[in-house]
Amino acid sequence: MKVLVVGNSGFIGTHLTRLLVKQGYEVAGLDIKAPSVKQDTYRFVQGDILNSSDIMKAASGVEAIINLAAKHHDFGVSRDEFFSVNEQGTQNILDCAGSLKIKNLIFYSTVAVYGAVNGYSTEETVPAPINNYGASKLAAEAAVRRWIEEDASRQIAIFRPTVVFGPENYANMYNLIDKVYKKRFIFVGNGENIKSVAYVENLVAATIFVLDRLKPGIQIFNYSDYPQLTSAQIVAVITKSLGCNIPGFKIPLKPALLFASFFDVLGKITGYNFPITAQRIKKFNTSTQHNSDKIRAFGFSPPVAVEEGIRRMAEWYLRYRDVKKAVGNQSTEG
């Protein structure tokens, strides 16, 4: 099968493209930035999903499109930017796919469409996003639904992954590992909250598994790894993998939030993205439980245990932590 990966130069896109090529797919890539490592194993088009001619060029001759492209940073992105890229960019891809008679599509959405869920989400949970990222992704999902209603033979799967981590990513899990390693981590709260996470190798394997089993209509899959660990359990795996310890005491959540709110205000005034904010502390201490039984019932079995995924990322961190400044920061937000 000939597959176009939109957003192939990003964190997930890099892993997905690599696995597709390894498994014998004929791959094309489209991204606003070039891959960080020079490659000759697939066709690459540097372009923008807001430019239809770029999409048409990249999608020429393919049989399926996997759309990973998105605005997803939690700081410094306006509502208009979120909707321009996430909704309009997706619509542009759909329009081009229709023009080229491409009927197979996988669209990466996010569990952020569910908003603040009391308990855990399933694919049947009614979306109620609470931020611009989630709202713009839900709007993109609506565009996908309209597109499939135009032609019943079109085959679409929507993935809603939770926070994705793994080697080559410099977002949430990296920052946690970095703070633990540098002895800058102190527990805030009791650490008993569940944090759904997705190891990147499992997510891309699930994507290809579904790609090979697309059927007319639309399928929606949450993706998170099991068992779903608490914050304390995740930190315990990290400390064991790094061979280090963290302070044994824990700071109560309320005073920590009060203290960190100062940085929220200062960040709004200065435009600086502080590593410590009340929003980030609250987020770390909030349970995020996203059920992904459906894809397992579909027959998918993740190749890597979640604890092993954390260990692999910690080992990668130890080898490559000094190159972060050279490659810049990335964000993968669920």
pLDDT tens-digit readout, 99-128: 999 999 999 999 999 998 888 999 999 999
The class that CATH gives domain 2-166+196-224+289-303 is: alpha beta
The pLDDT confidence band at residue 324, using thresholds 50, 70 and 90, is low
Residue 114 designated active-site:
no
The pLDDT confidence band at residue 252, using thresholds 50, 70 and 90, is confident
pLDDT mean over 133-160: 97
* The predicted structure's pLDDT at residue 74: 62
Catalytic residue chosen out of the listed positions 114, 133, 170, 223: 133
pLDDT mean over 198-225: 98
pLDDT mean over 197-213: 98
The pLDDT confidence band at residue 329, using thresholds 50, 70 and 90, is very low
- Could you tell me the strand order of the sheet in which 155-161 lies? 43-46, 26-31, 2-6, 64-67, 104-108, 155-161, 217-223
Residue 101 CB coordination number (10 Å) = 8
Structure tokens at 156: 């679409």
pLDDT mean over 304-332: 77
Q: With a threshold of 0.75, does the pTM exceed it?
A: yes
**Closest alpha carbon to 87 in 174, 39, 146:** 146
* The predicted structure's pLDDT at residue 177: 96
**Closest alpha carbon to 176 in 116, 136, 229, 115:** 229
